[in-house]
A and B are shown apart, each in its own frame.
Chain A
Amino acid sequence: DAGVIQSPRHEVTEMGQEVTLRCKPISGHNSLFWYRQTMMRGLELLIYFNNNVPIDDSGMPEDRFSAKMPNASFSTLKIQPSEPRDSAVYFCASSLKVTKWNSPLHFGNGTRLTVT
């Protein structure tokens, strides 16, 4: 099991540029989550999908952020245009939801984004 795979591991970009973060969830998992981690705000849930459908995007900070899940094995988080305050570590996580009870999340190793 390769685990959740995120790319790139590090991204440095200039303010105003478009940034695309990628995630491959664990095969067979049906839920996918995007989190952002900063020292000040901790871990924040941005959006999550179930069976490729966005369920809750209330954590997406602004219209500059968008996320897609075109199929069960791939998701993207896009920031356009990027700003310095978007600098953070972005995590993707997946889980297998079979009952009403929450299942453990499996996290990728994150993408460290720096916007200068």
Chain B
Amino acid sequence: SQQGEEDPQALSIQEGENATMNCSYKTSINNLQWYRQNSGRGLVHLILIRSNEREKHSGRLRVTLDTSKKSSSLLITASRAADTASYFCATDDQGGSEKLVFGKGTKLTVNP
């Protein structure tokens, strides 16, 4: 089934460093989304990138999409302790349904 898989499963860095998380998926998509989840809370949407886009920026976030490799990356620059959370990619299917399938996430820890 269509599912994004994040890599690595866990990442621990120091404040100020950059964090890169990767997502791979299996079949063609219309768009790919990244979400953040703080402990005990719901997921929060970060950024959506369409299949005809290659790169997108939002503040300290940079997302790339390579449809030929069926992969995406999320870069957080100049990380802060408040960025500590789990990050998920989510993919749709080109069939046009609204179903979003989530990966199991990358747990990011930013140490002060």
- A-side interface residues toward B, CB under 8 Å? 4, 31, 33, 35, 42-43, 45, 48, 50, 55-56, 91, 93, 95, 97, 100-102, 104-110
B30: CB under 8 A from chain A?
A: yes
B33: CB under 8 A from chain A?
A: yes
Instruction: Tell me how far the C-beta of B33 lies from the nearest C-beta in chain A, rounded to whole angstroms.
Output: 7
B50: CB under 8 A from chain A?
A: yes
Instruction: Tell me how far the C-beta of A104 lies from the nearest C-beta in chain B, rounded to whole angstroms.
Output: 4
- B-side interface residues toward A, CB under 8 Å? 30-31, 33, 35, 40-45, 48, 50, 88, 90, 92, 96-105
Are B99 and A48 in touch, CB under 8 angstroms?
yes
Instruction: Tell me how far the C-beta of B31 lies from the nearest C-beta in chain A, rounded to whole angstroms.
Output: 6
Question: Inside 8 A of B104's CB, which chain A residues have their CB?
Answer: 42
Q: Which residue of A lies closest to B105 (CB)?
A: A42
Contact of A109 among B42, B90, B99, B100 (CB under 8 A): B42
